[in-house]
Chains A and B, each alone.
Chain A
Amino acid sequence: MIAYLALENGQWFRGEAAGAAGETSGEVVFNTSMTGYQEVLTDPSYAGQIVTMTCPEIGNYGVTEDDEESRGPQVAGFIMRESSPVASNWRAEGSLADYLTRHHIVAISDIDTRALTRVLRSAGVMRGVIATGPNEPAGLVEKARAARRMEGSDLVLDVTCPAPFDWKGGTVDEEFQVRPERRSKRRLKIAAYDFGMKWNILRRFDAYGCDVRVFPATAPASELLATNPDGVFLSNGPGDPAALSYAIGNARELVKSDVPVFGICLGHQILALAMGGQTYKLKFGHRGANHPVKELQSGQVEITSQNHGFAVDPDTVPSDVAVTHVNLYDGTIEGLRHATKPVFCVQYHPEASPGPHDADYLFKQFMDEIEKRT
């Protein structure tokens, strides 16, 4: 079946329907990772976004429950150059095409994804619409222009958990996880804000010997602290951090408290805002598994997994907060640490999945932080 992708800048592409039939809109972004399409699809940080994979052959190894980063796909839509007719891998439980259809994800394939990527790179990410079946492109362009904007919109409420729950191991296939350098001396208690948390973060905590209680994004900080956790964690998530006044407020309290705090991605941005910094929208964001990040103290370069459209403005970082990591592509801030408080956070994804495991040490760092004081 034929399908169209229309962009708010008036451009449109004609291709093949590659998932559920229907129509969808969202912010069109691109991801340059060559593996891990299922992890990408199920990463809640992609809520409200239509993701283009720049790697042309997608779906080759199918899908498997083990690779879910949340309950099913979270993207608003999916774009591929070539969608695999078969799933060929011993881990596969089904084909990508069926998976997308089953989960009502509208997708398009067989379009010039490189041309699309170049548009997004030079004009910046923009809203778009995918529609399957015969259609009037001009009309779809109008729909794209009418779609919801990322700036100022709170998408966290759509993806956070309804009520607190304790993470029970979940599916961890030991052989595919980095073996932790050491586990915590005793089981540690972590209270985590779920802004759209990737499950691999929880799996990593578990691997390091931490029990995690997950709280809804809107839970007051006091509720988390009441469980007197060894540490508090702020997860990744979708959308504009500046729109999350409640989360920022809670973060402020956490920073005041002397509990060790660790944040990833959106969690990092929220902490930055809480500590007095500001965030801004990147032209086309960082989405992929090959971004070099330098840890400033050691000078070591980590190849990192990234997925964010906003970043912390270096000029607004308060004097009592130090920049610990920078992105070697564009010099943007990738990590912060409070000078006096046990608070640190990174913009990228140490839990990987998909992507390299270079930054896994950050979980250990958090554990050290905690054990230093208990």
Chain B
Amino acid sequence: MPKRTDIHRVLVIGSGPIVIGQACEFDYSGTQACKALRAEGLEVVLINSNPATIMTDPEFADRTYVEPLTPETVAAVIEKERPDSLLPTVGGQTALNLAVALAENGTLDKFGVRLIGAQIDAIKVAEDRLKFREAMREIGMEVPRSGYVRTLAEAYQVTEEIGFPVIVRPSFTLGGVGGGIAYNIEEFREVVGRGLDLSPVHEVLLEESVIGWKEFELEVMRDGADNFVVICSIENVDPMGVHTGDSITVAPALTLTDKEYQRMRDAARRIIRRVGVETGGSNIQFAVNPADGRMIVIEMNPRVSRSSALASKATGFPIAKIAAKLALGYRLDEIPNDITKLTPASFEPTIDYVVVKVPRWAFEKFPQADRTLTTQMKSVGEVMAIGRTFKEAFLKAFRSLELGKSGRLFTQEGTRTAAADDDGVRGAEEREPGEATWEADEDRAALQRALSVPTDRRMWAIFRALAQGWTVEELHALTKIDRWFLTQFSQLVGLARSAAVVGLRGMSSDALRALKRAGFGDIELAGILGVSEAAVRESRTSAGLQAVYKRIDTCAAEFESFTPYLYGTYEEECEAAPTSRPKVIILGSGPNRIGQGIEFDYCCVHAAFALREDGYETIMVNCNPETVSTDYDTVDRLYFEPLTFEDVSAIVERERSAGGDVACVVQYGGQTPLKLAIPLQDAGVKILGTSPDSIDLAEDRRRFADLLWGLGIPQAPSGTATSADEAHEVASGIGFPVVVRPSYVLGGRAMAIVYDTAALDRYMATAVTASPDHPVLIDKFLEDAFELDVDAIADATGAVVIGGIMEHIEEAGIHSGDSSCVIPPYMVPERHLHTIREYTRRIAKSLKVVGLMNVQFAIKDDVVYVLEVNPRASRTVPYLSKATGVPLAKVAARVMIGKTLADQGLTDDLDVAGVFVKTPVFPFMRFPGVDTILGPEMKSTGEVMGGALAFGPAFAKAQLAAGHRLPSEGYAFISVNNDDKPNVVPIARDLRQLGFGIVATRGTAAFLRAHGIHADIVFKINEGRPHVADEILNGKIQLVVNTPLGRESFFDDRTVRRTATLHDVACITTLTGAAAAVNAIKALKAEALTVRALQDYHQVARTRS
């Protein structure tokens, strides 16, 4: 069956903002799909609200719409672009849901758009758990017993037959939000209650629990001729009960006999046939009873997924790309295997290494969140590591997590503290009382709890237990983790123990070799042996031990590999085969985390694209399986390796060995590579662009303050403290309120605004460990200041081009990553903008910036202050590139290799044709009990962009894209703190004019009435009922404007905000935000939102300049 001839113009739907459960794996798959479709000569129309994606780069589609992912907007795009086909399978759940909506509301028929990849019926059978269960019964597959209920009463009946524990799944909540496991009747009442409450249709599915069974996934593909292949089998180390996204997983499956595996394969084939996925990839999850092998089906995802991205990276088989081709009618055997070239894609990859994926969580950002891992995903990112054995891959994965000391599995720091960065930031658990020390055998009960209740820190508890002599059997009883894995862990602990006994001095090179082959990193060994990392490297190199690199080739070396996709290991033969061409090594940004996400991967990918075009050999080093940067198509050579000094310098040496100049880009991957800049430079590695010293100067608050002073640029009075006493002096010196934070952090980690000495003491005592090498930074807090972000590029000649000045909607004090921002600025007077440009140039020149630079400004009382300077790629670069149409990261990369801005035709500051608003999205929904209030510590996981020709509609779109439907009528609840009362008056007045009724708490109501604005009074939570929250639940309130009462913020208004967020009632917590919202509501009422392609915006911008 050759390619279909009836497909010409395809609409591809992306997955929108990065949220927990839907991250950049969909940019990877979407980008691959777009590339594949265009390679087939098709026109691609793309819609995705996320500007930080590669797929939304104008050159990846013929028409690119960064617009809200709602049925209305997608319909508008369809009407405008008239695609003949829609590919719904590369944009996650979001795209599937939209496809279903558009099919059901008749849009697809109306405009003659056909679905390719998956048909509606197939999608429904797979997504509707009831339909799926019936389908499985039909083909004789076992599924957990289950039943839908709409009331607690019904729920009790169902559990009668199912028994405890029971799995609760609310219907139609985003990513299964509100689901969980109930072990007893109390939890049952709570979880089911919450579920019914959260489900828009007030329905939950109760399911028989198979907690503790082994969990497996198969990534399968099927073509139009019913050819079927399994691309990869994945085994979850954490058994059923912990979401696969939160589980440590390994490929291939390691504990199944061939008989069991083939039974699973047969089942997968029957399932994909029955569900009716005609072409493409699917993910099927199974549970296997370790006692008797009984196998049941958990679910099927009829699309590419997080796991298929993992499978693609794990095997070298590009699932999304092939899926796109299959959708066009090709058969698997008509598509060549990229890596072997000579063999077809109709085969099953076989691998001769082990792949381990480990999630990364962000609980340190949400102290009130429950760290227990359940059926609902909580992690924000993941790392993947490849080794020749499980042990090696496992240890490489753990060092890829970048958890610093708290990541160490074999030493006290690691196994005792909670996850946290290595910046003197303290992990939550560390402060918890009642935890004994490592030596004095820790309270057994505590350890038992840490083992039996899965949390993000369980693996450290396991290693602690093993170190204390617990047996594999004991651990198995508590964790249900397969004995094979536990045995591997105990072998590792054994190796570490005997190493510690011998010590580095007495260690034979054979023993050291054994440790390196088991995956121990130099640092890890240094910790175990109580010596320096340098000392370990010293003895390692003198023992002639050095990493070699093997290729990922889909075929276990049966055929030659033409693609340098490599991983490091300690074996005999090296297949790296470096060339003598001039090379640039780009260091990636590692696992996604809050504060360092897809934006940085976007920049790394752009550096690669630009330098490749300029004839350099581009080499990527990264360990994040979700990303475009780890697609072997992106660069000339890909090293899938941890981003540590040891691993990176080994790669540099290997690449150098062939001669040819080797240089490194460290400014694009966020903090991860920045931390390596100076060590690498000291090791003689050439760093491109801005010098590590300048970077350090900007990060080192003391040096930086001097610099600004010298340049005569105002900065909030500040100081640094290495002890609590010092902190007191500094604070009283500059006066409260102050902003406090550890040095060298991203995303405002552990940053706080402190209003008095008591709070300061609390902070110093609990939040950080201040020390000379980890000073605490204290700045005067600029209250009610405007904040602005600037991204600029400077070249070696000192020329500076300002990419854009972005005005934050929320005032300073709310992390730049968490506040909406708009370009061009809409409320800042030109004279300040002038000053900002002027300061930016001055700073760029004095820091000798070559490449990208990000500056944050605050304007208070008509004075422009500099908050911070980051001489590196920033979070806003992709957004700005989309707005201006100029690929800033590419331009800067070329600057870094010596081109001037003028060479690239850039002489003036950039301009935008239109108004572009960026709005963050938050994971609050997933963390019951967490306050939704914003502050200087970043909490958002992703962002969306809204574009229009005026501010109102642009902001409205951004809100819509972020999932907040601004109301056009109804009641607004207003409750603001005293400072804000005067300024809320105009907002209330506007709302009244727009026809809104106003309800307010007593104080605010009185104030409004005093200013002639009618407002009804409503009870606070603690004043009686029905109170605000009740009214929100009863749908009486459509908009919430609530600025918290600063320091003594009452629990009361926190509940209001939560209730609003959970029932997606727009909830605005700042006055500037409220003003913008009012503005947007006006726009919404004035005219319907229209859609516009980036290409059109950019066209205008070009003709203008």
A interface, CB within 8 angstroms of B? 13, 30, 32-36, 38-39, 54-57, 60-61, 64, 66-67, 81-82, 84-86, 88-91, 112-115, 117-118, 121, 173, 175-176, 178, 288-292, 294, 299-301, 303, 328-329, 352-357
Contact present for B254 and A57 (CB under 8 Å): yes
Contact present for A39 and B482 (CB under 8 Å): no
Picked from A56, A288, A294, A303, the residue with its CB within 8 Å of the CB of B353 is A56
Residues from chain B with a CB closer than 8 A to the CB of A61 are 255-257
Contact present for B262 and A112 (CB under 8 Å): no
Complex: how many Å from CA A301 to CA B228? Answer: 8
Complex: how many Å from CA A54 to CA B559? Answer: 13
Instruction: Indicate if B573 sits at the interface (CB-CB under 8 A).
Output: yes
Picked from B226, B388, B575, the residue with its CB within 8 Å of the CB of A81 is B388
Contact present for B352 and A88 (CB under 8 Å): no
Residues from chain B with a CB closer than 8 A to the CB of A54 are 350, 352, 556-558
- Name which of B192-200, B483-491, B840-848, B1034-1042 contacts chain A: B483-491
CB pairs A–B below 8 angstroms (6 shown): A54-B352, A56-B354, A56-B388, A90-B290, A91-B260, A354-B258
Instruction: Indicate if B344 sits at the interface (CB-CB under 8 A).
Output: yes
Cβ-closest 10 pairs across A and B: A36-B258, A115-B573, A88-B484, A54-B556, A35-B258, A354-B258, A176-B259, A290-B348, A112-B572, A54-B352
Instruction: Indicate if B347 sits at the interface (CB-CB under 8 A).
Output: yes
Closest Cβ of chain B to A87, distance in Å, is: 9
Residues of B500-557 at the interface with A, using a CB-CB cut-off of 8 Å, are 550, 555-557
Picked from A60, A113, A303, the residue with its CB within 8 Å of the CB of B255 is A60
Instruction: Indicate if B679 sits at the interface (CB-CB under 8 A).
Output: no
Picked from B228, B255, B259, the residue with its CB within 8 Å of the CB of A66 is B259
Complex: how many Å from CA A175 to CA B293? Answer: 10
Contact present for B389 and A121 (CB under 8 Å): no
Beyond the given pairs A60-B484, A354-B262, 6 more chain A to chain B contacts, judged by CB atoms under 8 angstroms and listed by A's residue number, are: A35-B257, A35-B258, A64-B257, A112-B571, A117-B556, A121-B559
Instruction: Indicate if B1099 sits at the interface (CB-CB under 8 A).
Output: no
Contact present for B491 and A85 (CB under 8 Å): yes
Complex: how many Å from CA A66 to CA B257? Answer: 11
Residues from chain B with a CB closer than 8 A to the CB of A60 are 254-255, 484
Closest Cβ of chain A to B149, distance in Å, is: 33
Tell me whether A328 and B344 are in contact in the complex, defined as CB-CB below 8 angstroms, given that A60-B484, A114-B571, A355-B262 are known contacts: yes
Picked from B225, B252, B258, B263, the residue with its CB within 8 Å of the CB of A67 is B258
Complex: how many Å from CA A117 to CA B573? Answer: 11
Tell me whether A355 and B258 are in contact in the complex, defined as CB-CB below 8 angstroms, given that A86-B483, A86-B484, A86-B487 are known contacts: yes
Picked from A13, A82, A288, the residue with its CB within 8 Å of the CB of B558 is A288
Contact present for B333 and A301 (CB under 8 Å): yes
Closest Cβ of chain B to A63, distance in Å, is: 9
Contact present for A301 and B487 (CB under 8 Å): no
Closest Cβ of chain B to A122, distance in Å, is: 8
Tell me whether A84 and B484 are in contact in the complex, defined as CB-CB below 8 angstroms, given that A57-B354, A67-B257, A115-B572 are known contacts: yes
Instruction: Indicate if B292 sits at the interface (CB-CB under 8 A).
Output: yes
Closest Cβ of chain A to B1068, distance in Å, is: 54
Contact present for A292 and B257 (CB under 8 Å): no
Residues from chain B with a CB closer than 8 A to the CB of A35 are 256-258, 261-262
Residues from chain A with a CB closer than 8 A to the CB of B257 are 35-36, 38, 61, 64, 67, 89, 91
Complex: how many Å from CA A113 to CA B573? Answer: 10
Instruction: Indicate if B390 sits at the interface (CB-CB under 8 A).
Output: yes
Complex: how many Å from CA A34 to CA B315? Answer: 13
Residues from chain A with a CB closer than 8 A to the CB of B445 are none
Closest Cβ of chain B to A10, distance in Å, is: 15
Picked from B227, B233, B261, the residue with its CB within 8 Å of the CB of A301 is B227
Residues from chain B with a CB closer than 8 A to the CB of A114 are 352, 388, 550, 556-557, 571, 573
Complex: how many Å from CA A226 to CA B550? Answer: 58
Residues from chain B with a CB closer than 8 A to the CB of A30 are 558
Residues of B340-367 at the interface with A, using a CB-CB cut-off of 8 Å, are 343-344, 346-354
Tell me whether A82 and B389 are in contact in the complex, defined as CB-CB below 8 angstroms, given that A55-B352, A176-B262 are known contacts: yes
Picked from B226, B293, B487, B556, the residue with its CB within 8 Å of the CB of A85 is B487
Complex: how many Å from CA A294 to CA B559? Answer: 19
Q: B333: nearest residue on chain A (CB-CB)? A: A301
Complex: how many Å from CA A60 to CA B482? Answer: 11
Contact present for B573 and A178 (CB under 8 Å): no
Q: B252: nearest residue on chain A (CB-CB)? A: A34
Residues from chain A with a CB closer than 8 A to the CB of B557 are 54, 114, 117-118, 121
Picked from B261, B333, B390, B555, the residue with its CB within 8 Å of the CB of A32 is B555
Complex: how many Å from CA A13 to CA B572? Answer: 9
Instruction: Indicate if B265 sits at the interface (CB-CB under 8 A).
Output: yes
Residues from chain B with a CB closer than 8 A to the CB of A288 are 350, 558
Complex: how many Å from CA A329 to CA B341? Answer: 11
Q: A353: nearest residue on chain B (CB-CB)? A: B258
Residues from chain B with a CB closer than 8 A to the CB of A64 are 257
Closest Cβ of chain B to A367, distance in Å, is: 20
Instruction: Indicate if B332 sits at the interface (CB-CB under 8 A).
Output: yes
Residues from chain A with a CB closer than 8 A to the CB of B351 are 34, 55
Residues from chain B with a CB closer than 8 A to the CB of A57 are 254, 354, 389-390
Closest Cβ of chain B to A58, distance in Å, is: 10
Contact present for B347 and A291 (CB under 8 Å): yes
Contact present for B352 and A117 (CB under 8 Å): yes
Complex: how many Å from CA A113 to CA B351? Answer: 12
Instruction: Indicate if B266 sits at the interface (CB-CB under 8 A).
Output: yes
Complex: how many Å from CA A112 to CA B353? Answer: 11
Residues from chain A with a CB closer than 8 A to the CB of B388 are 56, 81-82, 114
Contact present for B571 and A88 (CB under 8 Å): no
Complex: how many Å from CA A89 to CA B289? Answer: 10
Residues from chain A with a CB closer than 8 A to the CB of B252 are 34, 55
Residues from chain A with a CB closer than 8 A to the CB of B292 are 90
Q: B251: nearest residue on chain A (CB-CB)? A: A34
Per-position binary interface string of chain B over residues 996-1011, scored 1 when its CB falls under 8 Å from any chain A CB and 0 otherwise: 0000000000000000
Picked from A56, A66, A86, A290, the residue with its CB within 8 Å of the CB of B352 is A56
Contact present for B262 and A32 (CB under 8 Å): no
Complex: how many Å from CA A55 to CA B265? Answer: 18
Complex: how many Å from CA A36 to CA B292? Answer: 19
Residues of B251-280 at the interface with A, using a CB-CB cut-off of 8 Å, are 252, 254-263, 265-266
Contact present for A90 and B347 (CB under 8 Å): no
Closest Cβ of chain A to B1059, distance in Å, is: 48
Per-position binary interface string of chain B over residues 225-236, scored 1 when its CB falls under 8 Å from any chain A CB and 0 otherwise: 111110001000
Tell me whether A89 and B333 are in contact in the complex, defined as CB-CB below 8 angstroms, given that A292-B347, A352-B262 are known contacts: no
Contact present for A356 and B265 (CB under 8 Å): yes
Picked from A55, A115, A352, the residue with its CB within 8 Å of the CB of B556 is A55
Complex: how many Å from CA A86 to CA B485? Answer: 10
Complex: how many Å from CA A352 to CA B265? Answer: 13
Contact present for B348 and A294 (CB under 8 Å): no
Instruction: Indicate if B291 sits at the interface (CB-CB under 8 A).
Output: yes
Q: A37: nearest residue on chain B (CB-CB)? A: B258
Complex: how many Å from CA A25 to CA B333? Answer: 39
Contact present for A90 and B256 (CB under 8 Å): no
Complex: how many Å from CA A84 to CA B343? Answer: 33
Q: A84: nearest residue on chain B (CB-CB)? A: B484
Contact present for B259 and A67 (CB under 8 Å): yes
Complex: how many Å from CA A76 to CA B571? Answer: 26
Residues from chain A with a CB closer than 8 A to the CB of B331 are 301
Closest Cβ of chain B to A114, distance in Å, is: 5
Residues from chain A with a CB closer than 8 A to the CB of B332 are 301
Q: B258: nearest residue on chain A (CB-CB)? A: A36
Residues from chain B with a CB closer than 8 A to the CB of A121 are 557-560
Residues from chain B with a CB closer than 8 A to the CB of A91 are 257, 259-260, 293
Complex: how many Å from CA A57 to CA B482? Answer: 15
Per-position binary interface string of chain B over residues 322-333, scored 1 when its CB falls under 8 Å from any chain A CB and 0 otherwise: 000000000111
Residues from chain B with a CB closer than 8 A to the CB of A329 are 343, 347, 559
Tell me whether A328 and B254 are in contact in the complex, defined as CB-CB below 8 angstroms, given that A114-B352, A300-B226 are known contacts: no
Contact present for A32 and B556 (CB under 8 Å): yes
Q: B340: nearest residue on chain A (CB-CB)? A: A329
Complex: how many Å from CA A34 to CA B350? Answer: 7
Picked from A86, A88, A178, A290, the residue with its CB within 8 Å of the CB of B347 is A290
